[in-house]
Structure 1
Amino acid sequence: MAYTDANGVDLSGVTGRLIQTVDLVKGPAPQAIATDTVNGHVFVLQVESSATMPQGNMWLNRIDRRTGKVTGSMQLKGFGHGLSMGAQPVGTDTYLWTEVGPLHTSMSGTTVTATFGKAVTRFRFVDGSVLDGALIPQGQKFTPPGSTSGVGPSLDPVNNLLCVMYHKDGKRHFTRYDPAAAAAGSWVPVGTTFVMPAGEDVTPDVPSPYPLQKTLVSQGFTALGDVLYSYQWAPYDKDGNPTIPSEFPGIAFLTSYSWTTGARLDRQVVTNADGLTRREPEGVAVEVDPATAETRLLFGFSNTVPGTTGSRDVTIGWYPTKPAVDGVKVLADWEDLALEPGVNPGAQPPRGRLIALAGTTYLQLRGTVTCSLSADSRIGTLPHRLRPTHLTRQNVPRNNNTGRYVCRIEADVHGALWAYGATSDNATTWIDLDGVTVAWR
């Protein structure tokens, strides 16, 4: 049943897309996500491979939020695993809040499974630099009192609060601080501390094609006002089930809680980006859209880069908070398509947008292109915000040649827009996109 919280978020509702299938600077999976909307950046943490480097090293990726291009990176040595992250614009710079060493190692018997930072720190992003956590002065680190293992910070940009997660007395605790005061070394709690209720890591009984592990794995958190959001994953239980394909990792959940009462408000399976090859939940954050001023709840997924076995890319979706207008939510407003060489805009340039109507999300296109296609051809590329996670197609008008006046267009997960039906003796010279309204997911 649909539930809309105090922020306007419906975890069972429609979702949009920020970026899709962006390759990262290194191979391992992404972890935490955060955005600097003032300067137009998306930041993604990823753990450096422990096969070649010591545990606890990470890479910080900076991505252009409009183009999806990686614009810079930093290496973070001795920082941890990347439980969560906050991005804070200061003029044209971005400062990041992350975990940092001293390190806490999680073991399974004699095997190291993960390494987490036990303190929180803040640093300026400097492209190409290497930051060693052991060299950060102790006065620039903070360990919550009573914390016993890994910690993680997250930023609420709407209420200007820094939320820190830590483990104490066997439970996850969440305490908020003023980020300006914390940056100056004064860590005075703001309001009450939220303690995760017992039993919230038990995997829910949901329909699943394969058995699920009994305990949920935390994949990130964020707070917005009075609501705490927890991102979790139920991996498929492959013990004794060797027939489960490796590309099917499990099921993602988002859960919301009232900070005031501690009660669970809602829990939903996250279905956005369900067409990715290897879809694992990674990271959750809050941002304010610079174009519309809408507050959005972001959530990330990792995916295997096509043609590889271990390299991962990142996809970030979002939940809207503004209500529909006349039944329609605009999830991405009209934006120009990037055309291939030899394909030119007609009287109305080709553009696309994403809307939600009655719980279904649609990709809409408009405008015309002129061309000279004698075979099936790629005609353009969709912006990241419009790229579907399943192949979408629709028939559209084209020039009439001996009774052929329709061609098929298709868009794939990487945004490639193709036109089909042209032949050497029946060229396509123009295509009309005005009629495209196709289910996006």
Structure 2
Amino acid sequence: MVSFSLAAFVALAASFVSAAVPNSPRFDLSKPSYDLFRNKPLHDDTVQQGFAFDNTNRRLFVSQRRNGATETSGDLCITQLDFSGKYLGHMHLTGFGHGVSFGAQADGSATYLWAEVDANKNGYGQRLARFKFVNGATVSKSSTTLKKYKTVAAATEHTCAVDTVNNRLVVRYNTATDGKRIAVYDLAAATRGDFSAPLVDFKQPLPKTEGKNFQGYTAYGRYLYLLWGDSYDASGGVLNSQVATVDMNTGKVVQGPVITRAGSTLKFREPEGMAIYRTAAGQVRLFMGFASGDPGDRRSNLFYKNATVS
């Protein structure tokens, strides 16, 4: 018979907290990817970091480090594009974070963004903020228009994504004792500032990345999707971008790592961001982003998968 101390039992229980995410289809990562657009300029000319869809108002937003900003300042530019990649507007954020992942939420005809804020010395946000996208505006981390949240008291860093189909806020947070973890909340409750009842909260099972950079995540229904890899410049021309699927009810990888060849012919080609979008016709798509182009003229590229399995 195996016996556990009380401390060991508490530690084991704390490693996975679950109220269970309802079942859903999952994307088949082995199936082909399709272009939304390639080589589109953003407002600033740096590498894109992440992107998000407002599924209700049919809007697309892309994050990047602001021109002239240091890598640790947390100064970001959010560009709004249409779905052909045409520039529609931008917003500047000062002292927010890295921009690897953020979310968009419709509120009537307006779009509110969820993003990391209060960049630490490494340039990553210590909290989350919710704020209205206003074309041409510059918002500082100290702005009174921000609603700030620390979803987990012990967390040192926060980023997020929005499951736009199921209206859930997906938070990736870091703790000093347990590393990167994932928590999922009802979006309406999160908007009220209520983070007391996560559907799941588990340690991220990041597959072996062999030194490759983590580049994004998103969730649809029961499943979390992870993206990592390097630019051709960093990898010596080797295509090493990979994706994986995690069952959030178990915290286990259920598909992957799978090499993704989306945009394989792009120049530079660095994987940058993931998001979920449901078309007006009802097709749900898993999007992956890539940066391309030359220094001082980086471009945005979005690709998607739409094949699912039950």
* 8 Å contact from structure 1 (residues 88, 94) kept in 2: yes
Match of 1:166 in 2: 173
CA distance in 1, matches of 2:69, 2:150: 29
Q: What percent of counterpart residues are identical?
A: 30
Cα shift at 1:279: 0.3
Match of 1:37 in 2: 55
Q: Deviations over 1:383-440 (max 9, x none)?
A: xxxxxxxxxxxxxxxxxxxxxxxxxxxxxxxxxxxxxxxxxxxxxxxxxxxxxxxxxx
Cα shift at 1:191: 1.9
CA distance in 2, matches of 1:12, 1:88: 30
Match of 2:285 in 1: 296
2:185 to 172, 177, 184: 177
Cα shift at 1:201: 4.8
Match of 1:287 in 2: 277
Asked whether 1:100 is paired with 2:117, we answer yes
- Pick which of 124-133 and 179-188 moved more: 179-188
CA distance in 1, matches of 2:170, 2:30: 25
SS in 2 for 1:151: strand
1:429-440 equivalences in 2 (<5 Å): none
1:46 to 60, 64, 67: 64
2:253 to 264, 272, 279: 264
Cα shift at 1:10: 1.0
Higher relative contact order (CA 8 A, sep 6+): 2
CA distance in 1, matches of 2:233, 2:80: 34
Q: Deviations over 1:355-378 (max 9, x none)?
A: xxxxxxxxxxxxxxxxxxxxxxxx
> TM-score, structure 2 length as denominator?
0.84
Gap change, CA 1:49 and 1:249, over 3 Å in 2: farther
Q: Deviations over 1:280-337 (max 9, x none)?
A: 00000111112x2011111100001xxx4332111111110458xxxxxxxxxxxxxx
Match of 1:191 in 2: 199
Q: Any stretches of 5+ residues in structure 1 without a counterpart?
A: 107-114, 204-213, 324-441
SS in 2 for 1:261: coil
* 8 Å contact from structure 1 (residues 83, 151) kept in 2: no
Indicate the structure (1 or 2) with the bigger Cα radius of gyration.
1
Cα shift at 1:83: 2.2
1:228-377 equivalences in 2 (<5 Å): 228-234=224-230, 244=236, 248=237, 250-267=239-256, 268-290=258-280, 292-304=281-293, 308-321=294-307
Cα shift at 1:181: 2.1
Q: Any stretches of 5+ residues in structure 2 without a counterpart?
A: 1-22
SS in 2 for 1:81: coil
CA distance in 1, matches of 2:117, 2:108: 25
> TM-score, structure 1 length as denominator?
0.60
Q: How many residues align?
A: 285
2:211 to 208, 215, 234: 215
Gap change, CA 1:189 and 1:69, over 3 Å in 2: same
Match of 2:129 in 1: 121
Amino acid at match of 2:222: D
Tell me how large the CA RMSD over aligned residues is.
2.4
